[in-house]
Amino acid sequence: MKTRWLRPPEKLPDLQARLAAPRFLDGSVLSVTFETDPALIAALLPHPLEHDGSGIATVFVGRWQRSNCVGPFSGGALNLRASYGTLSGVYCLTMPMSTDAAVIFGRELYGEPKKLARVTLERTGARVSATIERHGITYIAIAAELSERDENPGEARGLTFHLKATPRADGHGFDAAPLLVGVTSRTRLRLVERGTAQLTFADSPFDPVADFPVRRVVSATYSEGDTETTAQILAALDPTAALPYYLGKLDPLDGWDAVATAATMEKPR
C-alpha cells in the first residue's frame, strides 16, 4: 500500500545523503564575538569539554534563502569557546530558529538546542541590524556598522559541539547515554565585511542570555555564502552528570507557572 507517511525504498539513499551532508545556501550572517565572564562559560560546558579561560563567546544571526533539507529559514546562536582534547571549537548554548522544519531537523539530527523564535536580519548600506524574539521579548539585538571588505574571502571552517540526548518516556533520565556530537561546517564565502557592533541582551525567563555580561566587543563580521555540515559522535557522556546541562537547554518548565500567575492577575475583575 502506498502512503505519503512512509518513504519509498528508492528514495532512502537520497534522503540519507541529505542527512549526512545538509547544505544551507545563499546565507547572510551577522556575527559578533565578545568577551564575557570566563567562569560562567566554564560552568556551562559539559564534561569533557574545556574552556581556555579567555571568556570568548560569539552570537550570530543569519538568513538562508535555500537548503537541501528544510527550505528557507532564519536563525541564530550563542556559542561558547570550547575544546575537546586536541579539537578546538565552540559549544552551542542556544540556537533559535524561525521555522519548525529548521528546529526539528537540527534538534533531532545533531542535538542542536533549537527553539522557535522570531528572527530578523536587515541591511541598509553599511548598517546591519539583527534581532531575536521569543515570548514577546527581544532578548538579542545587534547593530553593526561595516567599514572593511575582505578581498579574497575564501572558505571558513568551524567545529561546533552539541549535547545530543533523548529523555526517557517516564521523565527520569535518558533512553541511552547522552552523546557529545561534533559538527563541522564549511562555508564557501562570497562576501566578508568587518566593522563595529553594539550587542544588547535583554532579560528573559525563558532565554537567560542576559546572564552573560558583554565586557567588550572583539569583532563584528557580515558574510554571505553557502554552508555544508557533517557530523561525528565524539564521546558518550555520563548520564547523571549530563542531565543538568540537557534540561538547561529546555524552556524552564516551572517558568510557565509565573506566566500563568501574571496573566491571572492582569485579568479585569
The percent of residues above 70 in pLDDT, for the chain, comes to: 96
Measure the CA–CA gap between 114 and 96, rounded to whole angstroms.
Answer: 5
Instruction: Report cis status (omega within 30 of 0) of the bond before 22.
Output: no
Measure the CA–CA gap between 116 and 178, rounded to whole angstroms.
Answer: 23
User: What are residue 147's phi and psi, to 5 degrees?
Assistant: -140, -15
State the DSSP code for 50: B
* pLDDT beyond 60 at 263: no
State the average pLDDT over residues 170-181.
97
Find, among 130, 129, 126, the residue nearest to 146 by Cα.
126
Measure the CA–CA gap between 39 and 15, rounded to whole angstroms.
Answer: 42
Render pLDDT for 234-258 as a digit per residue (tens, 0 to 9). 999 999 999 999 999 999 888 777 6
- The grid cell for 183 is 559538527
Region class of 53: left (phi > 0), else alpha (psi between -120 and 50), else beta:
left
pLDDT at residue 266, rounded to an integer: 61
Measure the CA–CA gap between 59 and 151, rounded to whole angstroms.
Answer: 24
pLDDT at residue 254, rounded to an integer: 82
* pLDDT beyond 60 at 269: no
Residues in the chain: 269
Which domains does the chain show, CATH number per domain?
Answer: 22-262 (2.40.400.10)
* pLDDT beyond 70 at 267: no
pLDDT at residue 39, rounded to an integer: 98
pLDDT at residue 262, rounded to an integer: 58
* pLDDT beyond 80 at 264: no
pLDDT at residue 138, rounded to an integer: 98
Measure the CA–CA gap between 261 and 6, rounded to whole angstroms.
Answer: 44
- The grid cell for 138 is 527581544
